[in-house]
Chain A
Amino acid sequence: MATTTTAPGRVGVRMKVNGVDYAAEVEPRLLLVSFLRDNLGLTGTHIGCDTSQCGACVIHLDGQPVKSCTLFAVQADGAELTTIEGIAKNGEYDAVQMGFWEMHGLQCGYCTPGMIMTANAFLDRNPNPTEAEIRHALEGNLCRCTGYQNIVKAVQYAAKQRAGGAMEAGSGTDLDFEHKDVIEHAPEDLQDWGDQLAGQEER
């Protein structure tokens, strides 16, 4: 019987986040969203309601959209995660991000990372959705300022872009930050931290 128990101390976890392998020892009660934000410095994933209602904390876990405020980090042991920081490819926004840009899908932007993660997972499952299906898919994501009209338009834009194949070169918008710039502010208690940073020099 293989149990991994170190309570009430720490438990070892390994996970791949945005293509990067991480290993850490965490308290079992540490929430996944806090692990991403505080330990890994990936603050693009937001904490909104903290009660699994609002969807600001949605990330992808093994390809599925999940609310990272309602998982413990230890539950993601061995998983592959994608956060909002991992959506853009080669320095260009993806179709959903461009949809939010082009269709004015945000004002304050607080709900946007979760909206984009939910929308991306939804379009993977349903590439050609109706407006009603989009609204149904976004039921677990709350916006308190833009209103949903332009968010729905953003997802419709993305569906069209995706249907047309890869976005044309130059149609994306260059990102002006580097992943490693963000995570340099992470606290020191993460094991292998130096190795991780060293491993990212090539990225």
Chain B
Amino acid sequence: MFPNQFEYHRPSSVQAAAGLLAADPDAKLLAGGHSLIPAMKLRLASPSSLVDLGGVDGLTGIDASGPIKIGAMTTYAAIRDSRELKSALPILAEAADNVGDPAVQARGTIGGALAHSDPAADYTAIFLALDGSVEVTGTNGARTIAADDLFVDLFTTALAPDEIITSVSFPALDGAGTAYEKFRHPASGYAVVGVAVKIATGSDGKVESARVAVTGATSKATRATAAEEALQGKTLDDAAIDAAAAVAGNGLEINGDHFASEEYRRHLVSVLTGRALRKAAQT
């Protein structure tokens, strides 16, 4: 299966890439290509030109010395194998090992995953729960977009058409507990539902901040604010976790399809929120 013809660009700088995007409204950025190329082969996408970021230096690498900063073109495999991340932000390295399969992990990039905003992606929910941010560059310069503002809808982000994610940042954990629990589609490996949590507790053991983010169930990765509110100020014991899990789906517009009904996904949101919170309480 071959895609339609397209014009191929391999710029050597982000600025040049942004210029190429600005010049052609139908252009698409090519990062790892593991969402875009299958869509092109099925002719679900037929961009007039591809702007390959593979020739741009400086978009890969992991710096976990303080706040964690990861180049947008860093692959899942690099994240999975990073010793720095295994100690500084283990949730990110562990989740990478459960994205697709090793060959997908070798090509898929963290920037690509966030820019694509696939409703069943893993890193979208993790990025939201960890309160990350992306640095983006367009023809009008650079800016930072917070996790809460990035995802707009199904496959839609707050990025302008000529803007490119250059790096992804996460605050240091500072003792917070994190976890990502996912019910994998048995064939595709995508999340039927996934729930990521980050819980910070004070010296009295009470929850000071709770972030709970859901993927797979909604049209875009979304925070489960009802669960977050239920946890606020509570000691993270079984009763508090069960209460938060029970309301996790409240207020969410949950989708159903031939694989999993809305009711089933809503149930999974509760179950996985409970599991993730239990795991986070132990980290």
Is A66 interfacial (CB-CB < 8 Å)? Answer: yes
Interface size class on chain B is 35 or more
A65 B6 Cβ-Cβ under 8 A = no
Q: Which residue of B lies closest to A65 (CB)?
A: B103
Given the known interface contacts A1-B13, A58-B103, the answer about A7 and B38 at a Cβ–Cβ threshold of 8 Å is no
Q: Which residue of B lies closest to A52 (CB)?
A: B38
Is A70 interfacial (CB-CB < 8 Å)? Answer: yes
Query: Which one of B46-54, B122-130, B131-139, B237-245 is at the A interface?
Result: B46-54
B residues near A75, Cβ cutoff 8 Å: 30, 33, 52, 54
Q: Scan B75-115; emit 1 where CB is below 8 A from any A CB, else 0.
A: 10100010000000000000001001111101100000000
Q: Which residue of B lies closest to A71 (CB)?
A: B33
Nearest chain A CB to B31 CB, angstrom units: 10
Given the known interface contacts A8-B5, A27-B5, the answer about A67 and B10 at a Cβ–Cβ threshold of 8 Å is no
Residue from A55, A67, A74 with most neighbouring chain B CB atoms (10 Å): A67
Is A125 interfacial (CB-CB < 8 Å)? Answer: yes
Is B9 interfacial (CB-CB < 8 Å)? Answer: yes
Number of A-B contacts (CB under 8 A): 109
B residues near A50, Cβ cutoff 8 Å: 1, 41
Total A residues in contact with B, Cβ cutoff 8 Å:
40
Q: Which residue of B lies closest to A76 (CB)?
A: B54
A residues near B81, Cβ cutoff 8 Å: 125
Is A122 interfacial (CB-CB < 8 Å)? Answer: yes
A residues near B101, Cβ cutoff 8 Å: 55, 139-141
In the bound assembly, the distance between CA atoms of A140 and B16 in angstroms comes to 35
Given the known interface contacts A67-B104, A140-B101, the answer about A5 and B41 at a Cβ–Cβ threshold of 8 Å is no
Nearest chain A CB to B113 CB, angstrom units: 15
Is A45 interfacial (CB-CB < 8 Å)? Answer: no
Is A90 interfacial (CB-CB < 8 Å)? Answer: no
Given the known interface contacts A64-B106, A65-B106, A139-B101, the answer about A5 and B9 at a Cβ–Cβ threshold of 8 Å is yes
Q: Which residue of A lies closest to B78 (CB)?
A: A64
Footprint of B on A, CB under 8 Å?
Answer: 1-8, 11, 27-31, 50-53, 55, 58, 61, 64-67, 70-72, 74-75, 77, 118, 121-122, 125, 136-137, 139-141
12 contacts across the A-B interface (CB closer than 8 A)? A5-B8, A6-B8, A7-B5, A7-B49, A50-B41, A64-B106, A65-B102, A66-B103, A75-B54, A136-B97, A139-B101, A139-B102
